[in-house]
Structure 1
Amino acid sequence: MKKLFISLALALITLTAGAQGPRVKTAEGVIEGTYESGIKVFKGVPFAQPPIGELRWKAPQPVKAWSGVRSAKEFGPNPMQLNPYGDMNFGTDKRSEDCLYLNIWTPAKTMNEKLPVLIYFNGGGLIAGSGSEPRYAGASMARNGIISITANYREGIFGFFAHPELSKETSYKGSGNYGFMDQVAAIRWVKDNIAAFGGDPERITIVGESAGSASVSALMASPLCKGLFAQAMGSSASVIGYGKIATLKEGEKAGKKTMKAIGCKSIEEMRAMPAEELLKKSATSNMTKMYNIDGYFFTEQPEETFKNGRQTKVPLLIGWNSTEAPITFLLGKNPMTIASVKKAITPRFGKDTDKVMEAYGLKTDADVASLPGARLAADMFVGFSTWKWCDMHEKTGGQPVYRYLYCHPRPAMRNADMVPGLAGGVQKKTEENKNALKVTGAVHSADIEYAMGTLPTNRVYDWQPEDFTVSDIFQGFYLNFVKTGNPNGLGLPEWTPINGQQTPSVMQIGVNSYMKSDAQLENIYHTVDSVIWK
């Protein structure tokens, strides 16, 4: 019996040792992934050299070739970051400056199918997030016939630090925007290699939420992206909105303040500082001007690019959530009164503050805690900037623009001791915050798991049957758009693009999804637009 057990054990070891995952030959070498529920998965695939040492604060460099078979079975490290949001859950505990990796879920059988491709860029305010987050995982998308990809990019000071010394090092005499350049490098790598995974390099769609959505708008505005992708989707943010982004000089000036706050006197000193130390010191340095007109990634204000039709002209599916942020986003601990609102938004709107408040219908203290206040908070957070991107691309892009408003609220949390936080996060319930962030609609980031078909990866919420119904609808729109450039399809409500409509018809996504025009809301946006861009 003992001999039989040993023989079986040895046989099992032999079989396991001989098991081979799917292999693909990329331009740099062969990688081996895993099989997961009928799809092929490749994790931790490098798309650029590690941006460490002398490559810290330089544009991403091409991957160096390797010999033999490289394992692609585990996520690469998350980008360097702290944890400012409570809702981020990662597929790996590792974090490192060496973070430029992407992950591929492909349903291809022969690797010759020429399937459509989706690349997701994570949110997180350009200071946090990762392609390893389960809510972005591509398994569900892949099971529905597309190749789904997530890609890391440098966050915070590692990805968006400008300084005169860095500008002197470049041929274009600019600096910053390295995180955006990482995204370009990821798209370019996918375009060059995706055919080997069964994908069509001419059918790439890029998408992101929050900072990822802002990234998509930036990528559309950048001359570095011409011809790299065929379609785009964005959720809840853009780089066009409340005025101009930083000039190079403004970015460099902010960088000099950051260097001084960190306690360094040169870029050489900053490059020599260990990544963990730099991360901790930069967290208290109040980094501002996260991106700028560096003369390379951005050659002009993105608003000018879209205004003059110089953006990448592709079909666009775009929207935001019904209750992106509570009124406390604007007021903090101040009383919920008209006077508090006026004080909070005057720095933004100046002498036109009364005009804006009138447009939103903010007349009495009661309005602050109701729909007018909720709309103002949502729009000042991300709503207006997303509208501006949508409006400008419809006017000059020459391609269909599909606009939505995501309305379905999340269910209750499974843990009664937690409450929602800002930006879609969660936090421990206290007497002070137990009622502060209560909202009735869809908060910021609530759409991600629904659109990507990843509800089961998030165990914070007590998902109900209607949540999966909404997910089927939202994911169906995403899938159709990635496959055809049009979200319409069997079993879904008909979605009309806004092109040429005086009052746009907007898809209201929820359990009962339908098209709706809202002249009052459009009047609000045009009023704010006239104030900001006059």
Structure 2
Amino acid sequence: MDGAGNFGFADQIQSLRWVNDNAAAFGGDPDNVTVFGESAGGMATCALMTSPAAQGLVDKAAIMSGSCALAFPAGSIYPGVPEQRPYVSLAENESVGSDVAQQLGCTGSGVVDCLRALPVDALVANGEYFSDVLAYGTDLLPEDPRQAVENGAALPVPVFSGGNRAEQNSFVGGALLADPSAVTAQSYPTLLADAFGGNAGRVADLYPLQGFSSAAVAWASATTDAGWSCPTYRNNRALAAQAPVYSYEFADTGTADVSGVGASGVPQDAAHATDIPYFFDLDGHDVLKTPAQHDLARTMIAYLTSFAHTGTPEADGAPEWPRTTVTDTPVLQFVSGDISVIDADAEHHCDFWNALTR
């Protein structure tokens, strides 16, 4: 089927065509369009930078908790779930869809009509299998976006890119809410072995149980570094070969429990999605708790809007943001009352994780 695997992505590109055609009518500039995405939206934004169909439609990109290089180790999204990436080949994408359709009793040439005729509840019950991954080897994504970035094939536009210091706390907390025995001191070695194979012992040495408040925090720390932080900054350096790149890390604590995992016992820290209330009200409500958090939010918004206007993130009274290069990743870390440049590669043990990916 034409467009298979990327119908939602095709909608995003079509929306950008609409913006290009109509921005001037609203007082906008069709030659100064910033695409901004968080989580799956960030992964789609990064993929957009590698799509031939996006040529001339994107002038800047803000990628938040969603890099082309993300690779979630086995068991990190949920115990027992295989290793995952945001992008898969078209053949793999179609195979997953066909398998689920068959389980729902839909086969043959009428499979799509059969699925459309099913009750919504039947589809929702299998929603976890219809993942938000994008398919490459298609007209919209000819190449795996990670490979395209590494090959210098991404759009040469300014990029604002980073993530949260403790992304995995949300996912590990969610797993514990579903099953309190999902991550324990007893299961930790098995989780490491399933995720990292022959390197499990080296990972255990770098993330020893005695170095953390719990096995869940040790597991979350290891998988944050392996799956999120280090791939993001590695991807940023590759993008920096083509255009200006600005790397950040959100690390504020005491944030709202946006994922609802606070009861799990895993500290909220700067978990996945905890940065969203600093940019937007949620369900019409400001959920920030302190004046310092509001000050930080204003500064983060100023950096992002400045970037959207000019391609350079700046904020009055805030530190100058150094650019990422192909060899160095100075990361501007956002913490209430203390915005500063850090060596995120060192803090997340990226020399170790980057060596494992080679």
Of the structure 1 ranges 318-327 and 470-479, higher mean CA displacement relative to structure 2 is found in: 318-327
Q: Please give the alpha-carbon distance, in whole angstroms, between the structure 1 residues aligned to 2:99 and 2:66.
A: 27
1:466 aligned counterpart, secondary structure:
helix
Show the counterpart of 1:351: 198
Q: Does 1:401 align with 2:245?
A: yes
1:515 aligned counterpart, secondary structure:
strand
The count of aligned residue pairs is 337
Root-mean-square deviation (Å): 2.8
Q: Does 1:304 align with 2:147?
A: yes
Q: Deviations over 1:395-422 (max 9, x none)?
A: x3x211111111122446xxxxxxx4xx
Q: Does 1:188 align with 2:40?
A: no
More helix by share: 2
Q: Deviations over 1:78-127 (max 9, x none)?
A: xxxxxxxxxxxxxxxxxxxxxxxxxxxxxxxxxxxxxxxxxxxxxxxxxx
Task: Give every structure 1 segment of 4 or more consecutive aligned residues whose post-TM-superposition deviation is greater than 4 Å.
Answer: 272-275, 327-332, 335-339, 370-374
Contact 1:241 1:388 in 2 (8 A): no
Q: Please give the alpha-carbon distance, in whole angstroms, between the structure 1 residues aligned to 2:292 and 2:11.
A: 38
Show the counterpart of 2:91: 249
Show the counterpart of 2:342: 516
1:314-353 matched pairs, under 5 angstroms: 314-326=157-169, 327-328=172-173, 333-334=180-181, 340-353=187-200
How far residue 387 of structure 1 moved from its aligned partner, in angstroms, is 2.9
Contact 1:223 1:297 in 2 (8 A): yes
Q: Please give the alpha-carbon distance, in whole angstroms, between the structure 2 residues aligned to 1:252 and 1:365.
A: 44
Q: Deviations over 1:31-77 (max 9, x none)?
A: xxxxxxxxxxxxxxxxxxxxxxxxxxxxxxxxxxxxxxxxxxxxxxx
Show the counterpart of 1:65: none
Give the letter for the 2:153 counterpart.
R
1:7-406 matched pairs, under 5 angstroms: 166=1, 170=2, 175-242=4-71, 245-266=87-108, 268-271=110-113, 274=116, 277=118, 279-285=120-126, 286-287=128-129, 290-326=133-169, 327-328=172-173, 333-334=180-181, 340-358=187-205, 361-367=206-212, 369=214, 373-379=219-225, 382-394=228-240, 396=241, 398-406=242-250
How far residue 494 of structure 1 moved from its aligned partner, in angstroms, is 1.1
Show the counterpart of 2:260: 426
Give the letter for the 2:260 counterpart.
V
Show the counterpart of 2:79: none
Q: Please give the alpha-carbon distance, in whole angstroms, between the structure 2 residues aligned to 1:521 and 1:330.
A: 25
Structure 1 residues 472 and 365, CA, compared in 2 at 3 Å: closer, same or farther?
Answer: same
**Identical pairs, percent:** 24
How far residue 280 of structure 1 moved from its aligned partner, in angstroms, is 2.2
Note the residue ranges of structure 1 that are not aligned, 5 or more in a row. 1-165, 413-419, 428-432
How far residue 288 of structure 1 moved from its aligned partner, in angstroms, is 5.3
Q: Does 1:531 align with 2:335?
A: no
Q: Does 1:487 align with 2:313?
A: yes
Q: Please give the alpha-carbon distance, in whole angstroms, between the structure 2 residues aligned to 1:294 and 1:175.
A: 11
How far residue 216 of structure 1 moved from its aligned partner, in angstroms, is 0.6
Show the counterpart of 2:76: none
More strand by share: 1
Contact 1:217 1:389 in 2 (8 A): no
Contact 2:251 2:270 in 1 (8 A): yes
Note the residue ranges of structure 2 that are not aligned, 5 or more in a row. 72-83
How far residue 274 of structure 1 moved from its aligned partner, in angstroms, is 4.8
Q: Deviations over 1:242-282 (max 9, x none)?
A: 2874222212211211111222124535336557x454222
How far residue 443 of structure 1 moved from its aligned partner, in angstroms, is 1.9
Structure 1 residues 393 and 493, CA, compared in 2 at 3 Å: closer, same or farther?
Answer: same
**Greater relative contact order (Cα 8 A, min sep 6): structure 1 or 2?**
2
Structure 1 residues 351 and 278, CA, compared in 2 at 3 Å: closer, same or farther?
Answer: farther
How far residue 486 of structure 1 moved from its aligned partner, in angstroms, is 0.5
Contact 1:402 1:498 in 2 (8 A): yes
How far residue 219 of structure 1 moved from its aligned partner, in angstroms, is 0.5
Structure 1 residues 519 and 224, CA, compared in 2 at 3 Å: closer, same or farther?
Answer: closer
How far residue 185 of structure 1 moved from its aligned partner, in angstroms, is 0.6
Structure 1 residues 269 and 469, CA, compared in 2 at 3 Å: closer, same or farther?
Answer: same
Show the counterpart of 1:470: 296
Contact 2:159 2:245 in 1 (8 A): yes
How far residue 241 of structure 1 moved from its aligned partner, in angstroms, is 2.6
Structure 1 residues 367 and 464, CA, compared in 2 at 3 Å: closer, same or farther?
Answer: closer
Q: Please give the alpha-carbon distance, in whole angstroms, between the structure 2 residues aligned to 1:237 and 1:310.
A: 18
Q: Please give the alpha-carbon distance, in whole angstroms, between the structure 2 residues aligned to 1:350 and 1:288.
A: 27
1:202 aligned counterpart, secondary structure:
coil
Contact 2:245 2:325 in 1 (8 A): yes
Q: Please give the alpha-carbon distance, in whole angstroms, between the structure 2 residues aligned to 1:300 and 1:188.
A: 22
Show the counterpart of 1:458: 285
Contact 1:210 1:235 in 2 (8 A): yes
Show the counterpart of 1:445: 273
Contact 2:192 2:203 in 1 (8 A): no
Show the counterpart of 1:506: 331
Q: Please give the alpha-carbon distance, in whole angstroms, between the structure 1 residues aligned to 2:174 and 2:235.
A: 22
